Amino acid sequence: MTAPSYSADYLRSLADPEAFWAEQAQSLHWDKPWDRVLEDSKAPLYRWFTGAEFNTCYNALDRHVLAGRGDASALIYDSPVTGTQQLFTYRQLLDRVAAVAGMLLAHGVKHGDRVVIYLPMVPECAIAMLACARIGAVHSVVFGGFAAPELAKRIDAALPVLILTASCGIEPGRIVEYKPLLDQALQLATHPVGACIVLQRPQCAASLQAGRDHDWREAEAAATPAACARIRSTDPLYLLYTSGTTGKPKGVVRDHGSNAVALLYSMRAVYDVGVGDVFWAASDCGWVVGHSYIVYGPLLAGCTTIFYEGKPVGTPDAGAFWRVISEYRVKSFFTAPTAFRAIKKEDPRGELLARYDLSCLKTLYLAGERCDPDTVLWAQAMLKVPVVDHWWQTELGWPAIANCIGIEAFPVKPGSATLPVPGYDIQVLDNDGQRVAAGEIGNLVIKLPLPPGTLATLWNDEAGYLENYLARYPGYYLAGDAAIVDDDGYFWVMSRIDDIINVAGHRLSTGSMEEILAAHPDVAECAVIGVADALKGQLPVGLVVLKSGVTREHADIVRELIESVRASIGAVAAFKQAIVVPRLPKTRSGKVLRATMRAIADGRSFAVPATIDDPVILDEIAQLLKGSAA
Ligand code: COA
Ligand code: AMP
């Protein structure tokens, strides 16, 4: 047998995608085979595995139990913030999921209905997602760090029949009560939600509204376990909102069959794990990493997944990740570069590492933001394993540029995400749609059709999908990132080309923060820029111009602005700095020079744009930014 080769897989995936993906799909159970592997009659909108019936929950749980792996470990819940460790075998997880699926049915949830899940990192979050998948309901998980207005937006977009929540989440040093946030969101939302099921945690009891709210444990105990429904492979499995270039989040729609095919392939090809291996993605179910690599990917592959409710540092120390890796014998570990920077800051010499046996760990995977070479080198030196910086996005659902260790490992170049993953024809184009020369920066695009597992469309916004992603270069998907390809074909993803910033691996829209600042009665106009931060990658900074005649203390106004971003978007926005400026620098046509202000804030050199209306303001802003940072 010949050794697996990256180039053989890659070339075949592009030359004959239907044969390539049909072959990958054979490892899964299909209730009905597909009519077509790739439906292209509505190009540029493509669908994979049309005509097939496929149940994601069956493939993630029942299939393994029926194959005799019911007693194998499926999910380990490790929660340093509550002092809990709990193991679920595949059979135990299946039993809980079937019961919760029955609970959903008993509360009127039907195939195709949406269920909003607003939960912290408790196993019930995975159980709820899988239970929705089991009966064909569409889940929309909302990250716990979002405030009530963001939750309300997602409720009004998904129009759920039911919301699943918990009494609280636990952040180091504070309890975050979820129920008051949910109650507030339900008041803000225009869509009436019939029922909420609340998981009461020992750390805090939520008050339940009679008639609408139900106790999770009682409802689950009363439920009749539900069997797997027959579901069209192209039916939506979930909606997941991500920041777009406006304050209105985009609802990415992922379907059942193609998602499972892509995730299963990636577990082997990218993450180098299979049946019985322990895989850990230290993220949150509220993000795409949680969907793909805490819940669905590892379970589809028959791995053990770790469900971690804690932080890289402070729960209790910077050795937390090493403890989990060594205790559960994690083979492949995935986290965000910001988590490693936090550990490096607290334990630069890796002294806590020496306490643990990490011989089980074979590869470290980093994604979610551009990874600075220093962090890659530090991680490599500490862990002595290959570090795979890989690039993807919520829309894509699984890695698009990576070092595919499971097929063939390539030398690591710190700062580069390596090569396109099989299935993705990635190119870098200039503004005229021509490929740029090696070493030159351009727009990162993916030639259509995108592979299975990528977004089917945007929820209730097909026109938005076409306009935002497919219109700029006909025949290509526009990723929204600027990139370089080098002479070896390695991709270097450098920055966004829009107003999205990346704060601690979280993607946020500066446009939505500007909307909030602009709503303050004293603010005439404003700009929010992402400035470089050694720990979180980027942090938002607001620049506000006050209305003439405002005489209030600037410090009071700034405090109110910070509070309103926290109350509207959530603590996760990490909006903690705003400065009052006399004017905003603009071109003569009135465009605010955000990139120039970013360069000033980061201390980078920049050319004063020829079209600037008032060059003096740049010096004034530089002084104000310097003063506020000091
Ligand atoms: N529920 C409620 N609040 C939350 C939350 C949640 N699930 N997650 C974060 N927050 C809050 C935090 O408590 C913090 O509030 P504060 O301003 O009152 O301190 C704020 O949101 C910012 O949180 P965070 O980004 O976690 O920053 P931090 O300073 O507390 O910790 C790191 C810094 C680097 C340790 C942390 O950012 C981290 O673990 N990052 C990795 C993130 C990750 O895995 N991203 C990958 C996404 S794929
Ligand atoms: P999200 O949809 O939240 O996963 O964010 C996706 C965005 O994060 C991408 O479009 C990039 O801007 C950035 N990103 C993610 N991973 C990487 C990476 N490995 N290198 C550079 N940027 C990355």
Longest Cα separation, the chain: 80
- Check whether residue 82 and residue 169 sit in a common domain: yes
624 and 561 in a common domain: yes
Ordered DSSP codes for 130-199: HHHHHHT-EEEE--TTS-HHHHHHHHHHH--SEEEEESEEEETTEEEEHHHHHHHHHHH-SS---EEEEE
For 498, counting Cβ atoms within 10 Å of its Cβ (0-12 exposed, 13-18 middle, 19+ buried), the class is middle
CATH code for position 619: 3.30.300.30
Q: Is residue 122 part of a domain?
A: yes
Task: Note whether 121 and 193 are same-domain residues.
Answer: yes
- Would 325 be classed as within a structural domain? no
Cβ atoms of 305 and 280 closer than 8 Å: yes
Last residue of a domain, one of 424, 448, 470: 470
| Residue 416 in contact with ligand 2 by CB distance below 6 A | no
Judge if 406 and 524 occupy the same domain: no
Does residue 248 sit in helix, strand or coil?
Answer: coil
- CB of residue 367 inside a 6 A radius of ligand 2: yes
Distance of CA 364 to the CA centre of its chain: 18
The pLDDT, as a whole number, for residue 495 is 86
- If you take atom 31 of ligand 1, which residue's CA is the nearest one? 311
User: For residue 190, what is the domain's CATH number?
Assistant: 3.40.50.12780
How many domains does the chain contain in total? 2
Q: Do residues 397 and 540 share a domain?
A: no
CA distance 109 to 135: 9
The lowest-confidence range among 73-87, 125-139, 522-536 is 522-536
Q: Count CA within 13 A, CB hemisphere, residue 180.
A: 6
Question: Which has the minimum average pLDDT: 399-413, 475-489, 494-508, 526-540?
Answer: 494-508
Least reliable range by pLDDT among 90-104, 242-256, 447-461: 242-256
- Cα separation, 445 vs 478, whole angstroms: 5
60, 171: one domain: yes
Which band of pLDDT confidence, cut at 50, 70 and 90, is reported for residue 292? Answer: very high
Q: What is the pLDDT of residues 176-232, one digit of tens each?
A: 999 999 999 999 999 999 999 999 999 999 999 999 999 999 999 999 999 999 999
Q: Are residues 547 and 407 in the same domain?
A: no
**What radius of gyration do the chain's Cα atoms show?**
24
Q: Is residue 349 part of a domain?
A: no
Range(s) of the domain holding residue 522 = 500-629
Question: Mutual orientation of helices 554-568 and 510-518 as an angle, nearest 10°?
Answer: 130
Number of H helices, E strands in the chain: 20, 30
Using the 8-state DSSP alphabet, how is residue 201 labeled? B
* Site to substitute for ligand 2 among 143, 288, 370, most atoms within 8 A of C-beta: 370
Q: Which of 386, 323, 317 is nearest to 354 (CA)?
A: 323
Q: Give me the phi and psi of 160, to 5 degrees please.
A: -75, 155
**Does any domain span residue 373?**
no
One domain, residues 211 and 306: yes
The answer to whether residues 162 and 304 belong to one domain is yes
Which tens digit of pLDDT belongs to each residue from 483-519? 999 999 999 999 888 888 999 989 898 988 999 999 9
> Given the CA of residue 283, which atom of ligand 1 is nearest to it?
44
CA distance 297 to 277: 12
Does residue 148 lie in a domain region? Answer: yes
Work out which ligand 2 atom sits closest to the CA atom of 506: 3
**The model's pTM:** 0.94
236 and 123 both lie in a single domain: yes
The three-state secondary structure class of 109 is coil
519 & 581 share domain: yes
Distance CA 627, CA 630 (A): 5
Quote the ligand 1 centre to 285 CA distance (angstroms): 14
Q: Is residue 318 part of a domain?
A: no
3-state secondary structure of 97: helix
372 domain-assigned: no
Domain boundary among the residues 420, 448, 470 is at 470
Query: Nearest ligand, CA of residue 392?
Result: 2
Q: How confident is the model at residue 118 (pLDDT cuts 50, 70, 90)?
A: very high
- Cα separation of 218 and 404, whole Å? 46
Q: Is 431 helix (H, G, I), strand (E, B) or coil?
A: coil
Same domain, 465 and 567: no
Ligand 1: residues within 6 Å at CB? 120, 144-145, 169, 171, 176, 282-284, 287, 289, 311-313, 335-336, 338-339, 342, 368, 504-505, 571-572, 574
Do the Cβ atoms of 571 and 564 come closer than 8 Å? Answer: no
Q: Is the CB of residue 403 less than 8 Å from the CB of residue 419?
A: yes
Is residue 556 a part of any domain in this protein? Answer: yes
Alpha-carbon distance 303 to 274, whole Å?
6
